[in-house]
Amino acid sequence: MKPHCVVMVKYILPALRAKVAGELIERGYRVKDVAELLGLTQAAVSQYLKSKRGQKGMEIIEKSDRALNVVSELVDDLIAGKTTIEDEVEYLCRVCEILRKENIIEEEHAV
């Protein structure tokens, strides 16, 4: 059984970034702008958008509406300038807490 944090960093963090990138694109941001906002390369953003990164974690996050709401909140806060991507760990921990309370992360420990 893997520790929660290992699962979160290996699977959920890439999924969080993929979801954030996708939402920013849906809201009219260009790949270049998303990359700059997230501190990533344009190639990394492209891989997130094409589901080449974060897919396994995406399946986990999408099991929880509350977790998805945290992702949307992160996007809103990034756009509003209330937070920076350096603060993503706070959102990641909130997602972890939700997934653990909903017993979703427990199901994934065998990953």
pTM: 0.86
DSSP conformation class of 50: T
Using CA atoms, how far apart are residues 1 and 18, in angstroms rounded to an integer? 26
Q: What is the per-residue pLDDT for 1?
A: 62
| 22-59 pLDDT tens trace | 999 999 999 999 999 999 999 999 999 998 888 889 88
- pLDDT by residue (tens digit) across 62-110? 999 999 999 999 999 999 999 887 888 899 999 999 999 999 886 555 4
Type and span of the H or E element at 11: none
Asked if 19 and 49 count as a contact pair (C-beta separation under 8 A), the reply is no
